[in-house]
Chains A and B, each alone.
Chain A
Amino acid sequence: MLLQISEPGQSAKPHERKLAIGIDLGTSNSVVATVRSGEPVVLADEQDNSICPSLVHYTAEGGVVVGQAASEKLLSDPANTINSIKRLMGRGVEDSASLGQSLPYTFTEKEGSGVPYISTVAGEFSPIEISSEILKHLAALGERSLSSGSASELDGAVITVPAYFDEAQRQATKDAATLAGLKVLRLLNEPTAAAVAYGLDKQAEGLIAVYDLGGGTFDVSILRLSKGVFEVLSTGGDSALGGDDFDQAIVDWVLNESAHAKTLEPVEQRALLLKARDAKEQLAGSHSTTIEFNNQLFELNRETLAEVLQPLISRSIKSCRRALRDADISAEDVDNVVLVGGSTRTLAVREAVANLFGQEPLSDLDPDRVVALGAAIQADILVGNKPDSDMLLLDVIPLSLGIETMGGLVEQIISRNTAIPVAKAQEFTTFKDGQTAMAVHVLQGERDLVSACRSLARFELRGIPPMVAGAAKIRVVFQVDADGLLMVSAEELTSGVKTSVDIKPSYGLADDDISRMLQDSFSHAKDDMKARALREQQVEAERVLEALVPALEADGDLLSEQERQTIVQAMEALLQTRQSAESPRDIEAAIEVVAQCTDDFAARRMDRSIKSALAGQNLDDIDS
């Protein structure tokens, strides 16, 4: 029985000590950490490796090898050694087709799943299954390191995800953890975990920028600390930018220098990538190094490396500027800048960051371990080992959530950068008389048109009692929990008919990654506005026509034949304009024409309905 030191008065009763770990599930490397005697520590395996390559190797016998042991198979058996699986988490089949060009795997699609499967000698596996092998490996390491006497099973884990992960990617990560038998205490944004690891919560207040350039993803977050509470003001980044791209850029440079024309075999490609990575890592400590390729030596120095990486680094700096703008602050307002991710060891990156913020970034903690350490601290609190802790983490929604309304427009219900957990409701109504069902289409994105946003789920609210258009009250509630996972419910208030859905994302994301979706929303703002105005007028025209047809049927006898002709002609003109017009004003004008020639008709109908309502009633009754 081995004991850890507790805070005063907080010694756990026997059998009540909770075992919790924090996992940084990275694109190229993963790390597991825990809190021992009040201090976060990274856990190492029997060979003293604390950084586990995010590699899964499948053998012909159906065996699975994870981590360091799998890295030996990278060169000898690349097709059965899965690398950077995080890039495919929550992605659809089309994405893997385009992302897959640089990956040496064979993709297959299982009927109806929409999820890409990777073919290996041991069978076909989804990204979730492959990712769960890494989590199992890390959880086993955690159990071997922590188990004592009674407690040998982990009580829970905090797993970090890029702040940019959308609902589908977060859900996929959670599914992988469940498959690995882990209880997920919370999914935590990586930059938030890094700020916790640096103990920035011990300051009174301040603005913190976290620059996280990992193997496969880039995140920047602007955090505000006040009274010991972190609030994420904004997040930004690029879900397809990282050290892997640095390595690829160096490979491209070598190929260019050597004028090597033919495409590389997967084995050659891997070998050159590893050399490129070595060279990059050496340049963090020395001024120049050489890469051997095709029996030629290529000299790479820091200046050349900076040039080669410049386009990639400036992409990250642009994301930083956008995040600052979203947070409505300028670079000088930032009090601390934290560096996370192994790629921040590259000198050119540090210089670019220091240059942008006008200060030296914090880098005392190992940038590869800092996220796991923060996750461990959070796990320790959430599992209840530190009951007095008042540290609350507020995260934000990276992209707005909304539903489709008439005309293919998106109505935002929860807007981007809203702190979670959050619940918001909005009331909608029916469009047609006697409508008994309503389709709810849940979307994520910043654009005005459904086609430009990501579809998350569709469901139907059925059993709405037949009423005239606009009379039903349908309340749609969006609820996002602390992990950023979404539940949507719809209820018809007069009848109480209700239905809800947990977002099981449709994995239908085309190649548009989130950062591009965001950028598009800025660059297409004007187009979107025009398109929205046009759609709105089209819907309005439809509504007018929908109302007129039954009115003519019911009360057509109030009109002379000529009046009737005029109205019908105006309606036909409107129908025509609605379909062909490119300007919302044209439709508006046509609606106006219809309105003018139906004014009289409307007045006569009103008279008739009042008369029929009053018929046979005493004046006294009406007064009362």
Chain B
Amino acid sequence: MSLTMTASAIEHVQRHLDSRGKGVGIRVGVQTTGCSGLSYVLEFVDDVNPEDNTFDQGGFSLVVDPKSLAYLDGTELDFVKEGLNEGFQFNNPNAKNACGCGESFHV
């Protein structure tokens, strides 16, 4: 079971953490809301819970709770630019289909 980040994603997360001035890493996860079942969570982490899985990214940890890991196994977190817009994107091999808006997905 593993999660990966692209070099670009690592760089951006590190920069955001530096400017935020605190935090041990970022948390990825899924929550059971959204128009097509599940949606992604992407948050800063100040406290790691005992049950969390952590993946070292050099300067910070990528944190995921065990329940989410099941849905996210093999996912690559990327940072992309689309036109003027930019942000993080989950490349999740488990996702079967997403809703029209792309904010939620099925496995």
Residues of A within 8 A of B (CB): 1-11, 13-15, 36-39, 43-46, 141, 144-150
Contact = CB atoms under 8 A, between A and B. Distances in A.
Contacts of A44: 84
B80 A2 contact: yes
Interface in B47-65: 47
B42 A6 contact: yes
B43 A2 contact: no
Interface of B: 12-13, 16, 19-20, 26-27, 31, 33-35, 39-47, 80, 82-90, 98, 101-104
Given A9-B43, A39-B20, A144-B83, A2 B88 contact: yes
25 contacts: A1-B103, A2-B80, A2-B85, A2-B87, A3-B40, A3-B88, A4-B88, A6-B42, A6-B43, A7-B43, A8-B43, A9-B43, A10-B43, A11-B41, A13-B34, A14-B39, A15-B34, A38-B16, A39-B16, A46-B83, A141-B84, A145-B85, A146-B85, A148-B87, A150-B101
B47 to A, nearest CB: 8
Contacts of A13: 31, 33-34, 39
Contacts of A10: 43
A39 B103 contact: no
A149 B102 contact: yes
B48 to A, nearest CB: 11
Nearest to B23: A8
A38 B20 contact: yes
Given A13-B39, A15-B35, A39-B19, A8 B85 contact: no
Nearest to A199: B21
A5 B33 contact: no
Contact of A15 (B31, B86, B87, B101): B101
Contacts of B83: 46, 144
Nearest to B29: A11
A144 B86 CA distance: 10
Given A1-B102, A8-B47, A11-B42, 9 more contacts: A1-B89, A3-B42, A3-B90, A11-B31, A13-B33, A14-B104, A44-B84, A144-B84, A148-B87
Given A38-B16, A45-B84, A147-B85, A7 B44 contact: yes
B93 to A, nearest CB: 16
Contacts of B90: 3
Contacts of B42: 3-6, 11
A8 B52 CA distance: 14
Contact of A37 (B16, B40, B84, B103): B16
A7 B38 CA distance: 20
Contacts of B101: 1, 14-15, 149-150
A6 B27 CA distance: 10
Contacts of B82: 2
Contacts of A37: 12, 16
Contacts of B87: 2-4, 36, 148
B44 to A, nearest CB: 6
Contact of A43 (B19, B46, B84): B84
Given A7-B44, A145-B84, A14 B16 contact: no
A39 B12 CA distance: 11
A150 B35 CA distance: 11
A148 B20 contact: no
A203 to B, nearest CB: 14
B43 A3 contact: no
Which 6 pairs show the lowest CB-CB distances between chains A and B? A2-B87, A1-B102, A150-B101, A14-B103, A14-B34, A149-B101
B26 A148 contact: no
B28 to A, nearest CB: 9
B44 A5 contact: yes
A46 B19 CA distance: 26
A44 B98 CA distance: 30
